[in-house]
Chain A
Amino acid sequence: ILNVEQSPQSLHVQEGDSTNFTCSFPSSNFYALHWYRWETAKSPEALFVMTLNGDEKKKGRISATLNTKEGYSYLYIKGSQPEDSATYLCAFKDTGGFKTIFGAGTRLFVKA
Chain B
Amino acid sequence: SQTIHQWPATLVQPVGSPLSLECTVEGTSNPNLYWYRQAAGRGLQLLFYSVGIGQISSEVPQNLSASRPQDRQFILSSKKLLLSDSGFYLCAWSGRETQYFGPGTRLLVL
Which bucket holds chain B's interface residue count?
A: 20 to 34
Tell me, yes or no, whether B84 is within 8 Å of chain A by CB. Answer: no
The residue of chain A having its C-beta at the shortest distance from the C-beta of B45 within the complex is A102
Residues of B within 8 A of A59 (CB): none
Is B97 a contact partner of A49 (Cβ separation < 8 A)? yes
Q: What is the bound-complex CA distance between A89 and B43, given in angstroms?
A: 8
Evaluate whether A104 and B43 lie within 8 angstroms (CB atoms) in the complex, with A43-B90, A98-B32, A98-B49 already known: yes
Is A99 a contact partner of B46 (Cβ separation < 8 A)? yes
**Majority DSSP secondary structure for residues of B touching A:** strand
Is A32 a contact partner of B101 (Cβ separation < 8 A)? no
Residues of A within 8 A of B49 (CB): 98-99
Closest beta carbon of chain A to B101's beta carbon, Å? 4
Is A103 a contact partner of B43 (Cβ separation < 8 A)? yes
Footprint of A on B, CB under 8 Å? 32, 34, 36, 42-46, 49, 51, 57, 59, 90, 94, 97-104
Q: Say which residue of B51, B94, B98, B102 sits within 8 Å of A43 (CB atoms).
A: B102
Tell me, yes or no, whether A52 is within 8 Å of chain B by CB. Answer: no
Tell me, yes or no, whether A44 is within 8 Å of chain B by CB. Answer: yes
The residue of chain A having its C-beta at the shortest distance from the C-beta of B88 within the complex is A41
Evaluate whether A101 and B46 lie within 8 angstroms (CB atoms) in the complex, with A34-B99, A43-B101, A43-B103 already known: yes
